[in-house]
Each structure stands twice: as structure tokens, then as C-alpha cells.
Structure 1
Amino acid sequence: MYTTGTAFLEALQEAGVSYIFANLGSDHPSIIESLAIAKQENKELPTLITCPHEFVALSAAHGYAQATGEPQAVIVHVECGTQNLGGAIHNAAKSRVPVLVFAGASPYTQENELIGGRNEFIHWIQDVFDQRGIMRGYTKYDNEIRTGANVKQLVHRSLQIAKSDPMGPVYLMGPREAMEEKTKPVTIQKELWEPISPGAIPPPKIEELINDLVAAKKPLIVTSYLGRNPEAVKELVRLSNRLAIPVIESIPHHMNFPADHSMHCGSYWNEPNQVDILSEADFVLVLDSDVPWIPMKNKPSDSATVYYIDVDPLKEQMPLWYIPSKRFFKADSYTALKQLNDHLEEHGKIDQKMVSQRWSKYSEFHEHKKEERLLLEQAENDFITPEYLTACVRELMDEDTIILNEGITNYGVISNHIEASIPGSYYGSGAGSLGWNGGAAIGMKLAKPDKTIISLTGDGSYLFSIPASVHWMAKRYNTPFLTIIYNNQGWRAPKNSTLGVHPHGIANATQDFYVNFDPTADLSTIAAAAGDAHAITVKKRSDLKNAIKAGLMQVKNGRAAVIDVYIPHVYSDKNEITNVKETVK
């Protein structure tokens, strides 16, 4: 029997989808039966990964797409499963990750008129007026499968939209009767459904940009996610080398520019201070960044010339957003940088003396920042600072490691101290809903089985990741990875936010922020119980390196590991840490 469900699965296979991350329900009999038939007939279809929670399913698809650029599929149960995707759909949307989400829908017949009609009480309970509306604020496209006659066209169109810049999630739904409908096979020419070609800088504007860039005495480049395309990293290095342009990263969620490059001048997160290199710049080129700076705390001078190149320079899904710029270009960063570099090859007005002076200045600055970081990593007491913890990870990882950063209030520490220098070796979620790290690690391990995946996460974001589901999946599907928890026993972010608005308020005076996790849970053993992960708790600095070595050994031997590392408490007065940082100053 060839049904709409069969054709749907075939379309995913034709489009290059490798995995379906699924949380199945009463709306999926056609999918389940088609998979069973295909297995019996040795018919090749995407591999189905059973996911006990929908948030983890979409996070895994998110991680896979980040690592490969290729969208995967997620199957969830009617509107309940759709809502259980929760913040994961926010993450996929804001991070511009291509993924196809499919949900069934309650049957629309109830007296046996069609195959698949209502035969369980939940078919009435789960029938809602606008199931697609649940997703509409986060998806690039949504539609309903009504017949098998054009289901393949809908799947290919959905994925074409998902993969075209700015990329993002798409949503299809199909009621049982439509998915059970007998239909005829349709042949699709895959090459006719390719994503839209990347955008470029309009040729008449290239010369203007180059003239402003070459004339600048203190040019600067700011980026956040240019590294989603490793080839763009190479072109950025080429541009920086030619003109000695320093690069800083704002909340980086990819490896955008090698940390060991002399023109790399650091990254920043929510720090409440002005970055001097930004305020001194007379020309700023923003490449792929949603928030290149936070104007209340840190911004360029009013006299600086700003150019903005981005796949989404208008930020159409951000109601309040503006960065006044001389020019905005909706362009692919690799394409734009290639244009600039090729034109510079023929440009005869480059002041090589100024370039040389700039190289000397920012190389010295780069080395100074590196020395500062090293001092912060050398705490003498036996408590563990986030800087020291990150330095230990950096020391013990190898070139085949992928780092995931969901450290939240330690995000900036991790991005600066991990010193990622290989394209594709570092990722953040790119968004704001916590818990991405666990599912993403599974997705990345499926995409890059030869890599060692290390997830660096706060205790709050670890709990948000639904670790029981994550580690059950890691064991079942042989995707071992190392999790290191920066455990400050609470949520420091709400505390910091409150202090940012009410620095002398009652909450500060009473130290009542309602964010601590006391009494503390034994976080690592959650993973041990659910997925036989190797569980380690570390409270002393002297035990840390051996614990990380043991965790990495377990992962290399095929077993996931979780190291729960105690850092200063969320309610700590941080005097000891402050003393260390004052020594650096």
C-alpha cells in the first residue's frame, strides 16, 4: 500500500534528510506502517531517532544542521507535541537553522467515512482551531498536507524555503485521513528545488565601501555568526591580513575568526563596560551579527562610519532593532568578502605604512589580552573559577574537538578562554531559550561521529536540556559526549539583570533574588541513571584535571560522561574572585 505517509518519507529521503527526530503519537500510523514496510523491503529512508521529549528532538536537529548546513526532520504529536517543542523552535528561528517540523493533526471524520477517522477519545480533545498558528511566529513557512497527490512538492518547497537565506524552520501538518490516503508515486526532479542563490553586494557599491575601508585609520570588524560557513572564515582572515583589520566577536555562536590570529581582539557578552577598540574605531564593518553591541553599555563613536552586511540586515522578526549605518547589504558573508578581497587585489591606494603600523599595534594588543586571560586562569586558592575550568578544558581537548557553549553568565568566559581557532570547532545556540546543549550534542555527534563533543553548560541550562531524555538517547544511539557543568547552584542571570536595573535595591540589600538551587541536586547522576553516563562531581581545583581526563577517556571509549564542577555559588560575594581580578589589573 502506497500512502501519503509513504510519499512524505520518500520526499525527505530525496531531499537529503538523513535523520528524523521523532516523538510519535496516535496521529502517525501511516508513518509507522510505512517505515515498517520499508524496513521489510530494505528500502532506504531517513533513520528514525526516537526522542522521549520534543525539545530534545528539535535541539538535536538544530545541532546537526549547525554542524553540516543540512536540514533534518522532526516529527511531533499534534498540537500537544508542537507546543512541547517550546523554546527549541525559538532557538531554531533566532539562530536561522534550517529544519522541517511535521506534526499530525486530529482526524476530521468520526463515523468511519475514511481510513484514519477518529477512534480514540483524544481525537476530540486534541482538535484545535489553529494548530499552525502555534508555530507561525517562528517559522518561515507553514502548510497543511491535504492529499498525497502533491505531498512531495510541499516537502521539497518547504525545505527549499528552510535552506534559503535567511534560513529557518518550516512546519507542515497532516491529519490522519490525509496521511492514510492511497496515492500514486510522483517523480520529483530534486535539482529544481534548490535553495535561492546567495545574495551579494551590488557592484556599484563595492568601490564605495572599499574606498571608505582603505581610507580608515582605525577600521574594525565585528561578527557573531559568520563562521556558519567555514569558507567565510578564510575570506575574513584574508581581508584582515591584507589591511591589518582587528576583529572582535559579539556573543559569538560560531568560530568566526581564529583566536590565535594576531588580529583577534577578543569577544564580549553582556559586560557592562565600553570596549575601547570599538569606541576608537573610525570605520566599523559588521558581518553577520544580530547584536553587534549593546548601545546602553558599549557602542562605536557617533563619527564612525558603519557598514552592515548580513543575511538579514533588517532583522524583520525583531520588533525593536536599529543600528544606524551608512549602508545595509543583504548578502551572504562569504560572497561579500570574496567580492571585497578580489577588488582589493586591484586597488592601488593602500597605505602599506599605515597597515604595518596597525598590524604592530593590534598584535601587541592581542598578546596583552592573552596575558590577561592567562593571569585570570592562575587562581592560587583551591576553589574553581570559570576561567580556570575553561583553561583546563582547552589544555586537554585536541584538534578533533567540538565545543558547545551554553554557559550563560559564563558565556563570555568560555568564548574568550577556550580560544577556538578551527572553523566548525565551536558553537552556541545563537538564541535565548536554555537547554539547547544536550540535544545539540547528540545531533552534532550524529553529524560528526569522528569528533569529540564537549558541552560546556551552566547548571540551569543543563536542567533545561532535559538530561534524562538526552542521556537515554545518547546511550541508545551511540552518541557519547562529555558534559561539563559550570555549577554555581542557581541562576546568576536573573540576579545580574536585577542588579543592572536596581543596583541599590532591596533585593541587593537582602540578597533575596529567588534564584538559588539549594539544596543542590546530584546533577551528574541524573545522566548516570537515565543513560549509564559516567558521573563525576568535582569541588576542588586539585581534582579537576584528572576528572576531565577521566571523562574524556570514557567518551573516547563510547560512554557519555558528565562532570559536575562546583564554581563559586550564585550568592557568593565573589571577594576571592575579585581579588584575583584586581591582581590582574
Structure 2
Amino acid sequence: MYTASTAFLEALQEAGVSYIFANLGSDHPAIIESLAEAKLKNKKLPEVIICPNEMVALSSAHGYAQITGKPQAVIIHVECGTQNLGGAIHNASKGRVPVLIFAGASPFTQEGELTGSRNEFIHWIQDVFDQRGIMRGYSKYNNEIRTGTNIKQIVHRSLQFAKSDPKGPVYLMGAREVMEAEVEPVTIDTSLWEPIMPTAMPPQSVNEVVQDLLKAEKPLVVTSYLGRNPEAVDELVTFCELLSIPVIESCPNYMNFPSDHPLHCGYQWNTPGQNELIADADLILVMDSDVPWIPLKNKPSDQATIYYFDIDPIKEEMPVWYIPSKRFFKVDSHIALQQLNGQLGNNENIDSELVSKRLKTYAKVHESQKQSLALLEEASHDYITPEYLTACIREIMDEDTIVLNEGISNYPTISNHLNVNQSGTLFGSGAGSLGWNGGAAIGVKLAKPDKTVISLTGDGAYMFSIPSTVHWMANRYNTPFLTVIYNNHGWKSPKLSTLGVHPTGIAQQTNEFFVDFTPVADLSKIAEAAGGAFAKSVKDPEQLQDALKECLQAVKEGRSAVLDVHLLTVVSEGERKEESNKEDLQAIK
């Protein structure tokens, strides 16, 4: 029997979906039947990846879509499964990652009127008034499938939303009776369901920006996620080299500009003080950034001219957000840069002497930053620092390595010391719900099986990732990757947040921050028990390099590995030394 579920699965196949990350429930008998029939008849449908936890399912789809640009499908059950997406849907929404999520719904008949009618007690308990409302604030499009007759059109319309900028997740739901219903096959011309075309700058605005650039003495580019399109990185390099414009990466979740380029002038996160390059700039081009700076303590001069280029330049989903700018362009950064480069390429009004002088100035800034960072990487004989750990990871990377960064309090350290120069090799979730790293690594490995995937995470974010589920999946679906845990025995970020607001408060005086993870768990063993991962723990800096090589070798041989690296303890209430406390305060200042 050809059912609505069969049509739904065919639509996913037609749309180019490769994987269904599935956490199935009592609302999916028709889908399970259709999948089983397809397997029996060797019919081509997206491959099902069984996901024992919904957070990992969506994080996997998230990682796959980030690296390929192609949305995948996640199937979950009713409102319980929908709610269990929790932080993962926040990440996909705020990170602008395309994905289609389908959830079942409790049957709406209870006396056998239709196939799929209620036959389990849970069908009453899981029936809620507004299941779609759970996702409404986080999905670009949500709808209920009420009939199988137009189910393919609904699927393709949903994916059209997901793939159109600003990209994001879409949510569909359908009751058992609807998904069980017999329907007539429908043929869809998928070429008529393409995403909206990317936008460009108005021609007169291109000229306006170019004229301001030519007059500027200290122009600056700030970006965060321009690197989501590797071609845009190449255009940005060309643009910056034409006028010797320095680049700052603010809270980056992609590789946006080569770190070894002399015009790369650093990273910033929750910068507690003023960035001098931002303060000195007379013209700033913000390109693809949600938070280019934090105005409380770090912002441009009031006399600076600011242009904002973004697929979402006024942040429509952020209730409080304002960065006054001369112009806001709702534009694809790749196209905007092509337009600007086109006008600048043969422009006779470029002051070559000024451009040359700027290059020398910012090359010195770049080199000074590089030397300062190198000093921080020097090994201690007593303990492992995050800087030294990141430098050691850098040494084992090659051109076939992809790194996922969920280091949280060590985000800046990882950005500063990893020195990534190739686009498409560094990814963050783009949002704030922890636990993305494990599932994302599976998705990335599925998309790029020939690449070495390294996931960098804090101990808190590692536990949020549901490592038991992650490593069971990695083992079953042959997606080995290396996890390196920056283990500081607790949540360091809440402590730093507290010190940022109350630097001399009672919490600081008593060293009571309620973030201590002692007694320390053997985190790597979780992965070993759940998925046969190679598990190793290290505290001695002299053993770190060999431990990393050993773990990487295990991954290359087809086995996931987890290296639990114990850093200088920075949050333990019982063991914290006063001198370390002073170091944290100095970092805040």
C-alpha cells in the first residue's frame, strides 16, 4: 500500500536528503513500515541513523549541514521528543543551519475509525494543545500535515524555507491516521522548489561604500561567520589586500580569514576591555556577525562610520540589539564582496602609498600578537595549560583535519592558538546551548568520511553532549573521531561571568562559585564503555604529545578516541590556590 509516509520519505529522497537521524516512537508505525518495505525491495531512500537521544540526532544533522550546505532530516516522536530537542534546536536556529524536523502526533481517533487509531495509553498522555508551539520561536516554518494528498508539496516547501537565507530549521508534524492513509503517488518537479536567490547591494550603494573606503585612513573588517561560505573567504582576502584592511574575528564559528595572514589582527570574545583597533577605526565594515563587539566596554568611536552587511542585518529574532550604522545591507556577503572588489580592482583613486603604509602597520600588529601567543604556549613542568594543549593539537593536524570547537571558556584560547588557515576546517555551533560537539562530529564524519575529525570540548560541554549516545552511534555507523576534553574539573564560564560582574564580591572572597565537578569522573571511560572508544587520561605535560599521537592513531585505524586532559584546576572550591584566583581576576581586568 502506498501511504502518506511513503510519499513523505520519497520527498526527502527527491530533495537530496542523505540521512534521517531518527528517534522513533509509537507515532511512527507507518514510517517504519515504509522504511522496511523500501529495504526489502531495495528502494532508494535516505539512510536511517538510529539516535538514542534527540539532542544528538539534531546535532548530527546540524554538523552535516554545516559542512555540506545540504539539510538533513530528523524524525522524533510527539511533544516529548520535540521537547528533548531543546538546546539543539536553539543551536540550529541561532546558527542558521538548515534541517527538517518531523514529529509524529497522538492519534485523533480512539475507536478504530481509521488505521492508526489510539491503542496505547501513552496516546492520551502525549496529546497536548499546541505541540507546534514548542518549536514556533525556533523554526523558520512549522506546519501540521493534515492529509497525504499534498505531503510532497509540504515537504518541498519546508525545505525551500530551510535553505533560503537566513537558513534555519523547519518543523512538521503529522498524526498516525494521516501518515497511515493510502494516497495516490504524486510527481514533483524539484527544480521549481529552489531556495530564494541570494541578494546583492544596490548599485548606488556599492559606489557609496567604495568612496568611503577610499577616504578612510583606518578601515576595519569585523566578522564572525562569513566563512560559512568558503568562497566568501577568498573574496574577503582579495578585498582586504586591495586596501590593506585588517580583520578581527569576533566570536567566530567558522574560519573566516587565514590566521597567518599579516592583516589578521586577532580574535575577541567576551572582551573585558577596549579593543584598540576598534576604537581607532574611522570606518568599520561588519560582515556576517551577530555580536561584533560588546558595547558595555568595547565599541567604536562615535565618529566612526559603520556599514553592516548580513543576511539578517537587524537581527529580527533578537529583541534587544542595536548597532547604529550608516547603512544596513540585507545581502549575501560573497556577492557584496564581489561587487566591492569589482569596483576597487582597477580604481585609479586608491592611494597606494597609504595602502602600503597600512600593510606595514598591521603586519607589525599581527606579528606582535603572534609572538605574545607563542610565549603562552611554553610548557610547564608541573601542569598542562590550555595554550600548550592547543599548540600540541595544532602539531598533529594536517590539511585533512576538521576541528569542532566547543571549548566554552577556552574558545578564545583555541581560536588564538590553533592557527587555522584553510576555510571549511573549523566549526562552532554558532549558538549557546552546550553539547553540540559530539553529535556534530558524527554528522561531519558522515559528510566527509576521508577527513580526520577532532572535537575540542570542555568537560561540562562533553557531559552535555550525551557521550554514551554519541559513542554508541559512532561505533555503529563507523564515524570515528578524536575528542579532546579541556578538563578544568567544573564549569569555568559561570565563575568568570560572576567575576566579571562582582570582581571582589563574596563569591570571590570565599571562593564559592558552585561549579565544582569534584570528585572528578573518568570521562573517557564513558565513551569506552558505550562505544568501544580508545580512552586515555593525561595530567603530566611531558606525556601529552605522545597521548595525542596515540589517540590519533586509534582514530586513523577506525576507532574513536577520547583524551581527557586535566588542566590546572581552576574551579575547585576545596583545592583552589590563592595565586590562581589572582590570575583569574587579572584576566578579567
Provide TM-score, normalisation by structure 1.
0.98
Question: 2:51 maps to which residue?
Answer: 51
Quote how far apart the aligned CAs of 1:506 are: 1.0
1:406 alignment counterpart:
406
Q: Tell me the distance in 2 between the aligned counterparts of 1:187 and 1:259.
A: 49
2:422 corresponds to 1:422: yes
SS in 2 for 1:546: helix
Tell me, which stretches of 5 or more residues in structure 1 are unaligned? none
C-alpha deviation, 1:389, in angstroms: 0.3
**Paired position in structure 2 for 1:432:** 432
TM superposition shift of 1:346? 3.6
How many angstroms apart in 1 are the aligned matches of 2:420 and 2:16?
A: 30
Per the alignment, residue 348 of structure 1 pairs with 348
2:380–2:541 Cα contact (<8 Å) kept = no
Of stretches 438-447 and 293-302 in structure 1, the one that deviates more from structure 2 is 293-302
Displacement of 1:380 after TM fit? 3.2
In 2, Cα distance between the equivalents of 1:551 and 1:270? 32
Aligned equivalent of 2:494: 494
SS at match of 1:207: helix
Larger mean Cα displacement after TM superposition, 338-347 or 125-134: 338-347
Q: Distance in 1 between matches of 2:407 and 2:370?
A: 21
Aligned to 1:23: 23
- Report the CA distance between 1:575 and its aligned residue: 3.5
> Which residue in the other structure is 1:331 paired with?
331
Given that residues 28 and 176 in structure 1 are in contact (C-alpha distance below 8 angstroms), is that contact kept between their aligned partners in structure 2? yes
* CA distance in structure 2 between the partners assigned to 1:295 and 1:6 by the alignment: 52
**Residue segments in structure 2 that go unaligned for 5+ positions in a row:** none
In 2, the alpha carbon distance for the partners of 1:127 and 1:155 equals: 23
Deviations 1:220-239 (A, max 9, x none): 00000000000000000000
- Aligned partner letter, 1:471: H
Deviations for 1:355-381, whole angstroms, at most 9, x for unmatched residues? 000011111111111111110001433
Which residue number corresponds to residue 541 of structure 1? 541
Distance, in Å, in 1 between the alignment partners of 2:179 and 2:106 is 11
CA distance in 2, matches of 1:577, 1:359: 40
Could you list the structure 1 runs, at least 4 aligned residues long, displaced by more than 3 angstroms after superposition: 572-582
Structure 2: distance between partners of 1:515 and 1:581: 17
Contact 2:254 2:427 in 1 (8 A): yes
* RMSD value, Cα: 1.3
SS state of the match for residue 112, structure 1?
A: coil
Q: Is the 8 A contact 1:527 1:535 kept in 2?
A: yes
Question: What is the alpha-carbon distance in structure 2 between the residues aligned to residue 419 and residue 522 of structure 1?
Answer: 30
Matched, 1:144 2:144: yes
Confirm whether residue 397 of structure 1 aligns to residue 402 of structure 2.
Answer: no
Q: What's the secondary structure of 1:325's corresponding residue?
A: coil
- The residue number in structure 1 matching 2:284 is 284
Checking the alignment, whether the CA contact within 8 Å between 2:379 and 2:541 is kept in structure 1 is no
For 1:408 and 1:159, the matched residues in 2 are separated by 31
Paired position in structure 2 for 1:179? 179
The number of aligned residues is 582
Question: How far apart are residue 327 of structure 1 and its match?
Answer: 0.5
Q: Check conservation: 1:249, 1:267, Cα contact below 8 A.
A: yes
Counterpart for residue 128 of structure 1:
128
CA distance in 2, matches of 1:500, 1:258: 31
SS for the counterpart of 1:405 is strand
Match of 1:368 in 2: 368
CA–CA separation in structure 2 for the residues paired with 1:267 and 1:341:
25
Question: What displacement does 1:311 show?
Answer: 0.4
Deviations 1:189-231 (A, max 9, x none): 0000000000111111110001101111110000000000000
- Report the Cα distance in structure 2 between the residues aligned to 1:467 and 1:474, rounded to whole angstroms: 10
Deviations 1:285-343 (A, max 9, x none): 00000000001121111111100000000101000000110100000010110010011
Moved more, 325-334 or 378-387: 378-387
1:108: which partner in 2? Answer: 108
1:556, distance to aligned residue in structure 2 (A): 0.4
Please tell me whether the aligned partners of residues 570 and 580 of structure 2 are also in contact (alpha carbons under 8 angstroms).
no
Q: CA deviation at 1:89?
A: 0.2
- Distance in 1 between residues matched to 2:502 and 2:262, nearest whole Å: 39
Summarize deviations over 1:431-468 as a string: whole Å, max 9, x none.
00000000000000001111100000000000000000
Give the corresponding residue for 1:313.
Answer: 313
In the alignment, the residues of structure 2 paired with residue 541 and residue 23 of structure 1 have an alpha-carbon distance, to the nearest angstrom, of 41
Partners in 2 of 1:205 and 1:268 — Cα distance? 29
Letter in 1 for 2:540: K
User: Structure 2 counterpart of 1:310, which letter?
Assistant: D
Contact 1:379 1:580 in 2 (8 A): no
Q: Distance in 2 between matches of 1:217 and 1:210?
A: 13
Q: Give, in whole Å, the separation in 1 of the partners of 2:578 and 2:259.
A: 28
CA displacement, residues 260-301 of structure 1 (integer Å, 9 cap, x when unaligned): 111111111113111111111111000000000001121111
8 Å CA contact 1:247, 1:257 repeated in 2: yes
CA distance in 2, matches of 1:472, 1:340: 49
CA distance in 2, matches of 1:574, 1:369: 29
Query: Which letter does structure 2 place at the counterpart of 1:546?
Result: D
Q: What is the letter of the counterpart of residue 114 of structure 1?
A: L
2: distance between equivalents of 1:574 and 1:530? Answer: 39
Structure 2 residue aligned with 1:220: 220
On the 8 A contact 2:384/2:541 being kept in 1, the answer is yes
| 1:273 is aligned to 2:309 | no
* Corresponding residue of 1:517: 517
Partners of 1:265 and 1:245 in 2: CA distance: 10
Q: Which amino acid aligns with 2:259?
A: A
**d(CA) in 2 for partners of 1:300 and 1:540?**
43
- 8 Å Cα contact 2:307/2:325 also seen in 1: yes
For residues 71 and 164 of structure 2, the distance between their equivalents in structure 1, rounded to whole angstroms, comes to: 11
Number of the residue aligned with 1:201: 201
Q: 1:385–1:577: 8 Å Cα contact kept in structure 2?
A: no
The alpha-carbon deviation at position 114 of structure 1 amounts to 0.3
Instruction: Tell me what 2:65 maps to.
Output: 65
For residues 276 and 143 of structure 2, the distance between their equivalents in structure 1, rounded to whole angstroms, comes to 49
Distance (whole Å) between structure 2 residues aligned to residue 541 and residue 498 of structure 1: 30
User: 1:376 touches 1:581 (CA, 8 Å); kept in 2?
Assistant: no
Change in CA separation of 1:83 and 1:322 when aligned onto 2, cut-off 3 Å: same
The CA distance in 1 between the partners of 2:450 and 2:182, in whole Å, is: 42
Q: CA shift at 1:581, angstroms?
A: 13
Displacement after TM superposition at 1:500 (Å): 1.3
> What does the per-residue CA deviation read over 1:13-38, in whole Å, with 9 as the maximum and x for residues that have no partner?
00000000000000001110001111
Task: Give the Å deviation of 1:497.
Answer: 1.0
Give the 3-state SS of the residue equivalent to 2:209 in structure 1: helix
Paired letter, 2:243 = L
Secondary structure of the corresponding residue to residue 423 of structure 2:
coil
CA distance in 2, matches of 1:361, 1:570: 37
Instruction: Give deviations 1:395-444, integer Å, cap 9, x for gaps.
Output: 11111001111000000000111011001000011000000000000000
Q: Identify which range, 249-258 or 268-277, moves more after superposition.
A: 268-277
Distance 1:166 1:197 in 2: 11
Query: d(CA) in 2 for partners of 1:29 and 1:36?
Result: 10
Contact 2:381-2:542 within 8 A present in 1 as well:
no
Q: Output the amino acid matched with 1:342.
A: G
